[in-house]
Amino acid sequence: MERGDCARGVMNLARLESQQQGSSDSDTATAAEAIYPHAFSGGRPSAGADVYLREPLVRKLVEFFESKGLASIKEEDRHEQWYEDWIAYQGTHQLYARLLSPREHSRLGTEFDLLRYTRFLEVCGYFSPAHGYSLQVTFLGLCAILLGGNANLKREAIAALEAGGLLAFGVSERNHGSDLLGNEFTITEAGPGRFVAGGAKYYIGNSNSASIISILARKENARGTGHSRRAPIVLFALRPNESKGIGGARKIRTMGVRSAFVGEFEVKDHEFPESDMIAEGRQAWDAIFGTVTLGKFFLGFGSIGICEHAFAEAAAHLRGRMLYGKPAIEMPHIRATMAQAYARLTGMKLYAYRALDYVHASSAEDRRYLLFTAVQKAKLSTEGVKVMALLSECIGARGFESETYFEMALRDVQLIPGLEGSTHINLGLTTQFIPRYFADSQTALAVLPSLVAGEVTSQENAYLFEASTGSISAIAFPHFLNAYRPLITIGNVRLFAQAAKAFQLLARERDVSRTMRPDTPPTLAMGQCLATIAYAQLVAENVVRLNVPVPMVAAIFHALVNDFSAAVITLGSCSGSDVIRPDRFRRMIRVPRISDSECEFVSKQLAGILPSDWRQE
């Protein structure tokens, strides 16, 4: 694939750094191809999928699903049948254990490699999001334990994984959802070093088969007279197979990931020793927050995989379907809409894998990843829904036929914005970063190297398993326009930067900040605006480091300018936004442009997701 000439000097520096680490320019160029959408089917993957398929665990994943076949996956989906064959297969090959176990506790000599894990999640989403759900939930259950202080439980959890077991995360309740302070599941002290637990949990993945469930509860005084929101929270380990106090278990029937198990259960008079306590008080809160922060981030890679498979299936169908004497994909409106979907999907990958760089490099001194993980949930997961909507316009009735992957993808992709903290929660969190994001930077922050470009080797970040909550006001960001400066000659990038600057001026106005109350529509609309700006920042950073062609950049920012303008209009139409001067809105709304040649370039690029021997099925 030909590369554009934007930011050539920056790329030369990046390549020099890569060479110093022993990587060749050709290796870096090959790795950069992985940032585009791909097909991963083992017998006929697209050319750029090689970077993924070099990983033995990914190859094992592909081998399983190629052998199983789409028809069997869809049959399980229709009958909401639990995939025991996959659980047995991953256990035999210790896939989950090798992916998730940190170096300190692994007996297999593995570590928690972030790039390997996220690529595995992407490919798993490509084949079956429902199967990937069991891995995502296992991570949540394990991460909560790793962020606690019980060394024996950490070793037990890893041993369970290595034996092929699953874990679960028991936080949500039917009447409270994500309101952790409203949690009604309680434990009370039954004697020295012993406790009794009781309550119910709802919407808990893997609850049918987990070896250990990390349970959130409130520690009530045995002499208390009812539930108190001020009671300290705790996390404790529940072993369903060993407890006689569990009952009322059932599967919750869901629109998507239907072959996964999402369930509810009740616990009554479950007695357990203090040695089953994962964490208490502040440490328990930190463990929950840290687990959800990472869990919601990793979900985005599944969304990417879903869209990649749906895109490949739609493109194959449109290429094989003849209308008026030519392939349907050659019709101008279909071609333009597919190009839009491809540009958005490429933007998703550019953002997600740049955000991964911030997670990989995170430390007590650099916690910028907290914003970018929230944006991944608030913005990227909804981008997946937009991509599927665009593809659905093109594929038409074929996308609703039961034997297609596409039909399943339409359902599954909509779940991701609502799992592990819904979109509005993360927009609210994003809003809290506005003062720091637009502050005049007082700190010289290093430009992070790129994992995808091969500028740094992916390795375990031990900080992720010891991170604690802290004030957002202590997090520093570089100037928000720095990312766009190497690309400023591209018209749509320039328009976006101008609109972002206008939003900064708005956000700094005292009247605006004073009137913004938590969880109100104007506040969430402000969060949507910042989420779009932060999303564009990381896209721009990866565009420069990977030398993405100028026409592709123009197409991606065409969508981002439109998204930002839409967010601004939503903000302006909110009740309570009348304190904002009308001229501020006019400065933030821009009309992007894309030339015929740029659109044609993207249309040609999307053929790269199809293997040469793909035929309509």
The predicted pLDDT at position 269 comes to 95
Residues 109 and 201 in one domain: no
User: Which one of 228, 249, 281 terminates a domain?
Assistant: 281
**Does residue 441 share a domain with residue 361?**
yes
Q: Nearest CA to 145 among 132, 126, 158? A: 158
Evaluate whether residue 617 is within a structural domain.
no
**Average pLDDT of the segment spanning 265-294:** 95
Identify whether 615 is part of a domain.
no
Tell me whether residue 81 is in a domain.
Answer: yes
What does DSSP say about strands 262-273 and 246-251: parallel, antiparallel, or unpaired? Answer: antiparallel
**Number of domains the chain is built from:** 3
Mean pLDDT of 30-51: 80
Nearest alpha carbon to residue 61 among 111, 132, 110? 132
Q: Are residues 473 and 459 part of one domain?
A: yes
598 and 574 in a single domain? The answer is yes
Among the residue ranges 54-63, 342-351, 431-440, 529-538, the one predicted with the least confidence is 431-440
| Dihedral over Cα of 155, 156, 157, 161: its sign | positive
Is the same domain home to 157 and 202? no
* Letter string b/e over residues 324-349, b meaning 16 or more CB atoms within 10 A of that residue's CB: eeeebbebeebbbbbbbbbbbbbbbb
Q: Which two tokens stand for residue 531?
A: 């989420």
DSSP 355-386: HHHHHHT--SS--THHHHHHHIIIIIHHHHHH
CATH number of residue 262's parent domain: 2.40.110.10
| Residues 277 and 366 occupy one common structural domain | no
Mean pLDDT across the chain, nearest whole number? Answer: 88
Question: Quick check: 228 pLDDT over 70?
Answer: no
214 with 317, same domain: the answer is: no
Predicted local distance difference test score (pLDDT) of residue 183 = 87
Q: What radius of gyration, in Å, describes the C-alpha atoms of the chain?
A: 24
Tokens for 91? 């256990």
Phi and psi dihedrals of 331, rounded to 5?
Answer: -65, 135
| pLDDT tens-digit series, residues 342-352 | 999 999 999 99
Kindly report the CATH number assigned to the domain that includes residue 599: 1.20.140.10
Share of the chain above pLDDT 90, in %: 70
In a domain, 387, yes or no: yes
pLDDT(353) > 80: yes
Question: Can you give the pLDDT at residue 34?
Answer: 86
3-state secondary structure 157-205: HHHHHHCCCEEEEECCECCCECCHHHCCCEEEEEECCEEEEEEEEEEEE
The CATH number of residue 50's host domain is 1.10.540.10
Whether residue 1 lies inside any domain: the answer is no
**Same domain, yes or no, for 469 and 347?**
yes
DSSP string, 224-266: --S--TTSPEEEEEE-TTT-SSEEEEEEPP-SSSTTS-EEEEE
Residue 561 lies in a domain: yes
DSSP 211: E
> What's the confidence (pLDDT) of residue 3?
36
Is 90 exceeded by the pLDDT of residue 582? no
Domain boundary among the residues 249, 281, 313 is at 281
Identify whether residues 221 and 264 lie together within a single domain: yes
Dump pLDDT digits (tens) for 512-566.
555 567 678 888 899 999 999 999 999 999 999 999 999 999 999 999 999 999 9
Cβ burial, residue 319 (10 Å; 0-12/13-18/19+): middle
- Boundary residue ending a domain (231, 257, 281): 281
The reply to whether 297 and 244 lie within a common domain is no
pLDDT bin (cut points 50, 70, 90) of residue 440 is: confident
On whether residue 616 sits in a domain, the answer given is no
pLDDT for residue 48 is more than 90: no
Both 264 and 319 in one domain: the answer is no
Q: Which domain holds residue 423?
A: 286-609
Same domain, 413 and 331: yes
Note whether residue 236 is domain-resident. Answer: yes
